[in-house]
Chain A
Amino acid sequence: MTTTCKETCEPAETVMAEASPRIERPVYEPAADVIEKPDAIHVLLDLLGVDQKGLDVTVEENVLRVHGTSAIAQDKPESPIHREFETCDYERSFRVATDIDAGRISASIKNGLLRLVLPKKEKEKPQKISVRTE
């Protein structure tokens, strides 16, 4: 049994090591607020410790993907007496149902809060249709 496990695990470990040469840190889904405005969708994400350099936002086939690498160094002081959180990286994807203008997406990060503004494509804006009576 042990040999079988070793055989299956080893190649996977090699792949993992190649894919992430950085120090291993847990990756969590950040909490998000999503607000749909008439002309844009606003996404707010709690990305503690992430600055502009550590942020990666992509949109591909209507999937918005956010990856944040924390700039905070892992604390290793001598005696922790109480622990509720750990330094981590963040990753989260959203499927965007509305047609958005990917070229005009703006992202700003301040105090560990990321704000994404996804402008809707022109045709998606509600148009008022006037009804004529004859």
Chain B
Amino acid sequence: MIWPVVRASWSADPMQEFNRLYGDMDRLFGNRSERLTFPRINVWSNQDETVVSAELPGVDPKDIKLTVKDNDLTIEGERTSEPLAESDIQVRRERPTGRFIRNLRLPFEVEADKIVARYEHGLLKVRLPRREATKPRKIEVAVG
């Protein structure tokens, strides 16, 4: 009897098939999982500071609240929806609205009073300088 060879391509990694399936789903639905997160953020960091940028188009900068506690940064606020009159017809609605909150843990503690936040053309950029006391120090080795 001849068995069809169906499992020949399976690798030792059991997650590979799941990852492939996720990839297929993303292609099929246009990577929706990413779109559900609001706002989307980018984070960079080096020895001295962390920079966080967030996509917040159409949000009044006054409605954005930033809080820092130890090394936790919280970005919260509200994106208001367009007020509709009774005679208006909403033909298409793709822009997410409502309250949002994102919390992230920074790689180190920051100087809370030296944080600079700028909002320009819908992009929020926050620079968080590292607390001096937590910076790595070079220790001289004395001989003798």
Contacts and interface: CB of A to CB of B under 8 A. Distances in A.
B44 A31 contact: no
Contact of B84 (A35, A79, A85): A35
A82 interface: yes
A28 B92 CA distance: 18
Interface stretch (A8-16, A19-27, A69-77): A69-77
Instruction: Bin chain B's interface residue count.
Output: 35 or more
A111 B94 contact: no
B40 A49 contact: no
29 contacts: A32-B92, A32-B95, A33-B90, A33-B92, A33-B94, A34-B91, A35-B82, A36-B88, A36-B89, A36-B91, A37-B87, A44-B95, A46-B95, A47-B57, A48-B121, A51-B121, A72-B121, A75-B53, A81-B45, A82-B41, A83-B42, A83-B43, A84-B34, A85-B41, A85-B55, A111-B57, A111-B119, A112-B121, A112-B123
